[in-house]
Structure 1
């Protein structure tokens, strides 16, 4: 069976909050797309809270460590701007006497999109995180033309956070590629609550959650259940 998509998928992974699981979902997307015969690119336009793209706290380093095709490539190739302070990009840049030009970010995304391969870009924090004095993450998504993948936690509060994020996207006429819940490692959510949260998001937004990514102990070989969640999201775009 041929699983190749007719057109490259260009996805922008964003979250309902910082630490929701965007990097994990980005890794799963790369693995699923690679398993279907593609050579997807990963790009982190704005990284905060790390000294360099090769730092232990770098999202790009995590991706390169656990996605085989990128393992021998320096994380700098998948990172745009990097700032030390764990803050919104606008303020992390200010701490270093630097600024961010939205057009620079958009040009890099446009360049990567012109390549004949899927692109998985990962944002910083949530949709309304400030990037410049006049632009937030959702402005970058909107102007880039990429489809957002919304990542949310499974537990208490996620209904509100997820529906608020979906409402912001709706007001911009941006249709998300899908929604993925990610289970926190040290705060397991009861199965009944997870189902209620998924049902509420679907009922009030009209968009179903693709599934729940469970805790992953080996990122080199994620469990089938985790990969299946992302496969459903990808299949839903075809």
Structure 2
């Protein structure tokens, strides 16, 4: 069984948090003990009007969550930490912490920040490094695969952005497990309709789920009931 799922996106704002909640809700419905980990959350301060990503996931999917670092400025983590004058964990430390959490759960879902190459620490470590290091560490230790899920947009530009992300993963010998379209419009146009077919065709990665626009605004009960139906 897959113990760890890493959720990345082709960019910021593509729907990673709602995709993470969807994956968590499905695993919970299957009877699994689920934890969602956010290595670094940016853009959250004492007076922030928006909830942190882990709070959104917890509210929608009713699973355990952990946030390993939080920064005020809505910037890449390394930049936000530098401006705030604080140190943040390295990617190596995140990998160690995630592995320490594994025994208590059947599935740990790790949500990245921004896109795959956004720097998560001051040493230049990225989510790509985290996904690679987790993949090889768990493969050696217990033969357990790590699934990497790529969340992408539905509209114009998504084919290029998604292929770039998939290519970067394959360059470090990490094969993506699937794609999730993070926000599907109620009235898709020709670009969205074609992209839904073309995304798996051009990347060679299966389409796992298509999430309707506004899914994150559903009440938790409705979200939990609907989430399994969004998988293809």
Tell me, in whole angstroms, the C-alpha distance in 2 between the residues paired with 1:69 and 1:13: 16
The question of whether the paired residues in 2 share the 8 Å contact of 1:10 and 1:118 is answered with yes
User: What does 1:201-212 correspond to in 2, within 5 Å?
Assistant: 201-212=199-210
What do the CA deviations read for 1:86-112 (whole angstroms, capped 9, x no partner)? 011111111111233222211111112
5+ residue gaps, structure 1, are 1-6, 71-76, 233-238
Name the TM-score, length of structure 2 as normaliser: 0.84
Query: Could you say which residue in structure 2 is the equivalent of 1:143?
Result: 133
Query: Could you say which residue in structure 2 is the equivalent of 1:113?
Result: 102
The question of whether the paired residues in 2 share the 8 Å contact of 1:198 and 1:208 is answered with no
Tell me, in whole angstroms, the C-alpha distance in 2 between the residues paired with 1:164 and 1:40: 30
Query: Could you say which residue in structure 2 is the equivalent of 1:21?
Result: 15
Shift of residue 223, structure 1, vs aligned partner: 7.8
The question of whether the paired residues in 1 share the 8 Å contact of 2:177 and 2:205 is answered with no
Tell me, in whole angstroms, the C-alpha distance in 2 between the residues paired with 1:226 and 1:174: 27
SS of equivalent residue, structure 1 residue 128:
coil
Name the TM-score, length of structure 1 as normaliser: 0.82
Shift of residue 149, structure 1, vs aligned partner: 0.7
Shift of residue 219, structure 1, vs aligned partner: 4.2
Shift of residue 83, structure 1, vs aligned partner: 0.3
Query: Could you say which residue in structure 1 is the equivalent of 2:164?
Result: 164
Shift of residue 55, structure 1, vs aligned partner: 7.0
Query: Could you say which residue in structure 2 is the equivalent of 1:213?
Result: 211
Residues paired across the two proteins, number: 216
User: What does 1:31-42 correspond to in 2, within 5 Å?
Assistant: 31-42=25-36
Distance 1:50 1:126, change over 3 A: same
SS of equivalent residue, structure 2 residue 113:
strand
Equivalent in 84, 99, 119 of residue 87 of structure 2: 99
SS of equivalent residue, structure 1 residue 149:
strand
Shift of residue 37, structure 1, vs aligned partner: 0.8
Query: Could you say which residue in structure 1 is the equivalent of 2:56?
Result: 62
Tell me, in whole angstroms, the C-alpha distance in 2 between the residues paired with 1:171 and 1:204: 17
5+ residue gaps, structure 2, are 136-145
Tell me, in whole angstroms, the C-alpha distance in 1 between the residues paired with 2:3 and 2:106: 8
The question of whether the paired residues in 1 share the 8 Å contact of 2:119 and 2:126 is answered with yes
SS of equivalent residue, structure 2 residue 120:
strand
CA RMSD of aligned residues (A): 2.2
Shift of residue 175, structure 1, vs aligned partner: 1.0
Shift of residue 224, structure 1, vs aligned partner: 6.2
What do the CA deviations read for 1:45-78 (whole angstroms, capped 9, x no partner)? 11000026x97330011112222355xxxxxx61
